[in-house]
Structure 1
Amino acid sequence: MKIAILVEGATERAFKKKLCEFLQSHLGQKMPRLHFITQDGPIPKERKLKKLVETLLDNNGYHAVIALTDVYTGKPDFKDANDAKEKMRIWVDNNPNFYPHTASHDFEAWLLPYWTTIQKLAKHNLSAPSGSGSPETVNHQKPPSYWIKEIFRTGKRGKDYNKVIDGMAILKNNDLMIAINACPELKAFVYRIISLCEEDKIIS
């Protein structure tokens, strides 16, 4: 199974290693080949997305394409996660091998469950944002990335938050299942990959 995953940028690349470790532990020999295709900005829209998906499926030999977009893009592109997924489906004419997924509101929502680790890395005891028990509900006015940048900015470490380096450090020694259980959109994304490789696989 060869799967292309369209992602927006650096933070998602930091996530790849942890994701692959988790999938390997559950899929074994059925582990797919995952190719993260970075857009260096928002996931393409409308005809551009359709063309990209068709090229990957028809010309580049991928069996499936997953798009992973932030709901919070800095622009009023999407009302919420469901709106984002529905629009992407429409843009690609409901291609059966295309699977739209979201990080609500941005990727850093999936790091919030590890707030204790974030505090240690930032060397600051700033409390977790309100609502962090449901990380994907942390709002557009102060999205998850804001909170992580803020604790690093004010902490004693003396360095700003680096999406790749610190993202990997936050995830490194933590169990990804903690974030999966706290974040429905992450769970849907991970389970999508697993179901594409082993349809009836159940993980816990």
Structure 2
Amino acid sequence: MKIAILVEGATERAFKKKLEEFLQSRLEQKMPRLHFITQDGPILKEKKLKKIVENLLDNDDYHAVIALTDVYTGKPDFKDANDAKEKMRRWVDNNPNYYPYTALHDFEAWLLPYWKTIQKLAKHNRSAPSGSPETVNHQKPPSYWIKEIFSSGTRGKDYNKVIDGMAILKNNDLMIAIKACPELKAFVNRIISLCDEEKIIS
């Protein structure tokens, strides 16, 4: 199974290693080949998105394409997760081998469950945002919370999306974030279901 995953930028690429480790432990011999394709900005829209998806499926021999977008893009692109997924499906004419998913409201929501690790790395005891990670919203998205604790801490360095994102995930169990974040769970389960439906996380 060969799967292309369209992602916005470097932060999501930092997530790739952790995701592959988790999937390997669950899928074993049925582990797919994952290719993260960075857009270096928001996921492409409309005809541009359709073109890249069709090219990957028809010309590059991918069995499936997954698009992963933030709901918070800095622009009023999407009202919520459902709006984002509906638009991305429509732009690609509901191609059956294409699956859009979202990070609510940005990728860092999936790092918030590891707040104790974030405190340790930032060298600050600031409290985590209240509520479940994926409810931290447009007004102050998850990445802002992490940037603020790093800038307030005594480490003396600002938050680096790639380096610190990898450090936060490194010694933590991805299942913690999967259980805390329904959109992450749906994304991971999609990959698993394409390879072995019996291994889906309940």
Q: By the TM > 0.5 criterion, same fold?
A: yes
Q: Is the 8 A contact 1:13 1:36 kept in 2?
A: yes
- Other-structure match for 1:79: 79
- Other-structure match for 2:177: 179
Unaligned residue ranges in structure 2 (runs of 5+): none
- Other-structure match for 1:198: 196
Q: Is the 8 A contact 1:26 1:203 kept in 2?
A: no
- Other-structure match for 1:16: 16
Residue number among 156, 159, 176 corresponding to 2:157 in the alignment:
159
Q: Which amino acid aligns with 1:77?
A: D
- Other-structure match for 1:113: 113
Q: Which amino acid aligns with 1:107?
A: F
Q: Is the 8 A contact 1:70 1:107 kept in 2?
A: yes
Task: Return the alpha-carbon distance in structure 2 between the equivalents of residues 151 and 39 of structure 1.
Answer: 28
Task: Return the alpha-carbon distance in structure 1 between the equivalents of residues 10 and 69 of structure 2.
Answer: 13
What count of residue pairs does the alignment treat as equivalent?
A: 202
- Give the superposition deviation at 1:93: 0.4
Task: Return the alpha-carbon distance in structure 1 between the equivalents of residues 199 and 150 of structure 2.
Answer: 39
Partner SS, residue 124 of structure 1: coil
Task: Return the alpha-carbon distance in structure 1 between the equivalents of residues 137 and 64 of structure 2.
Answer: 31
Aligned-residue RMSD, C-alpha:
0.7
What TM-score do the two structures reach when normalised by structure 1? 0.98
Residue number among 166, 169, 174 corresponding to 1:168 in the alignment:
166
Q: Is the 8 A contact 1:179 1:186 kept in 2?
A: yes
Q: Which amino acid aligns with 1:85?
A: K
- Which structure 2 residues correspond to residues 32-43 of structure 1 after superposition, within 5 A? 32-43=32-43
- Give the superposition deviation at 1:200: 2.7
Task: Return the alpha-carbon distance in structure 2 between the equivalents of residues 58 and 46 of structure 1.
Answer: 18
Partner SS, residue 200 of structure 1: helix
Partner SS, residue 196 of structure 1: helix
| Deviation beyond 6 Å, 4+ runs, structure 1 | none
Q: Identity across aligned pairs (percent)? A: 89
